Amino acid sequence: MTLRIAVAGASGRMGRELLLAVHNDENAVLSAALDRAGNDFIGQDAGMMIGAPNGIKITDDIESALANSDVLIDFTRPEATLAHLAICRKLGVKLVIGTTGFSDEQKAEIEAASKETAIMMAPNMSVGVNVLLKLLQQAAKALDEGYDIEIVEMHHRYKVDAPSGTALRLGEVIADTLGRDLKTDAVYGREGVTGERDPKTIGFATMRGGDVVGDHTVVFAGIGERIEISHKASSRATFAQGALRASHFLGNNKTGLFDMHDVLGMEK
Ligand SMILES: NC(=O)C1=CN([C@@H]2O[C@H](COP(=O)(O)OP(=O)(O)OC[C@H]3O[C@@H](n4cnc5c(N)ncnc54)[C@H](OP(=O)(O)O)[C@@H]3O)[C@@H](O)[C@H]2O)C=CC1
Ligand SMILES: O=C(O)C1=N[C@H](C(=O)O)C[C@H](O)C1
């Protein structure tokens, strides 16, 4: 069956990559392209974003755009994703959410909506990062005592949220594995006379610059040795391929909240 996929934030960095991925998928068709009201590309042919006109005009009319769509792929901003979510919920359109930077309340709203339509949400849709999340559980179990845990991430100069959604997920997985609570144990950057490191903390360091697609490193630092586990994305195509895979996965589910481990068939 050909899946009808709508893309939100169509003129954005991920939006363009998603348009290309859908264009190249013989089992999917672009059903709509959305962008923000006032965006320069509203009314233009979405295919122009990838040099292949397709007759689908970029629109800010969410409801009309989604009326003939099976799935919406959304890599935008939290407030936009929630506006799209409300319409997806109403129309029963499935949703792949790549947006990061949600508050706890916003995440709860997404979870509630998943009782009415199927949703896949992941801060990082690359296969590599989702394998890294699994490796981390093993490493954290073995390195619980005597190793300080720090998470370092670097992204391009245009990124608006920090730490990255992926870095936060890495921290959550480590905290869950070790029975710790990231809400109390996270330290987001250090400055001045900080005192010695509290062993139960999980530190985060954020760098921004240039065109870095997405680098993440988890450091387990002990006395006499240090383990570093890294993932470096060199192209956004890896995220778009994950989103496309997730869209097809949702085709088989009516409701529920899923993550990339479900999509990839990896053990929970
Ligand atoms: N899960 C994953 O694997 C990945 C997640 N991401 C996340 O995806 C999101 C987007 O990243 P990126 O593509 O680089 O960002 P961009 O800024 O390049 O694109 C965002 C798009 O969303 C649109 N937008 C912004 N606000 C609204 C709004 N209120 N209503 C409708 N549309 C809106 C923007 O329009 P305008 O330009 O007019 O503001 C733009 O087209 C981020 O949260 C990022 O962290 C990124 C890569 C991978
Ligand atoms: O904004 C980005 O670019 C990215 N955001 C995601 C995040 O916040 O983790 C994933 C990826 O690293 C790129």
pLDDT at 1: 84
Amino acid letter for position 175? A
Residues 258 and 219 in one domain: no
Residues 193 and 250 in one domain: no
Domain count, the chain: 2
pLDDT at 121: 98
Task: Name 240's Cβ contacts closer than 8 Å, sequence gap at least 6.
Answer: 14, 17, 18, 20, 21, 125
Residues 228 and 142 in one domain: yes
Residues 220 and 255 in one domain: no
- Closest ligand to 245 CA? 1
Indicate the average pLDDT of the chain. 97
pLDDT at 252: 85
Whether 261 is catalytic? no
Catalytic position from the list 57, 115, 134, 155 = 155
pLDDT at 268 over 80: no
Whether 111 is covered by a domain: the verdict is yes
Q: Residue 255 sits in a domain of what CATH number?
A: 3.40.50.720
Residues 9 and 120 in one domain: yes
Assess whether the C-beta atom of 171 lies below 6 angstroms from ligand 2.
no
Whether 23 is catalytic? no
Longest dimension (CA), the chain: 61
- Closest ligand to 18 CA? 1
Assess whether the C-beta atom of 166 lies below 6 angstroms from ligand 2.
yes
Residues 197 and 174 in one domain: yes
Does 165 carry a binding-site annotation? Answer: yes
Assess whether the C-beta atom of 165 lies below 6 angstroms from ligand 2.
yes
- C-beta atoms surrounding 79 within 10 Å: 12
Mean pLDDT of 247-261: 95
pLDDT at 242: 98
Assess whether the C-beta atom of 9 lies below 6 angstroms from ligand 2.
no
Residues 112 and 7 in one domain: yes
Mean pLDDT of 145-159: 98
Whether 268 is covered by a domain: the verdict is no
Residues spanned by the domain of 104: 3-125+236-263
Does 35 carry a binding-site annotation? Answer: yes
Give the pTM: 0.98
Residues 135 and 202 in one domain: yes
Determine the distance separating the centroid of ligand 1 and the alpha carbon of 33, expressed in angstroms.
13
pLDDT at 104: 97
Catalytic position from the list 159, 183, 254, 268 = 159
End-to-end CA distance of the chain: 29
Residues 58 and 178 in one domain: no
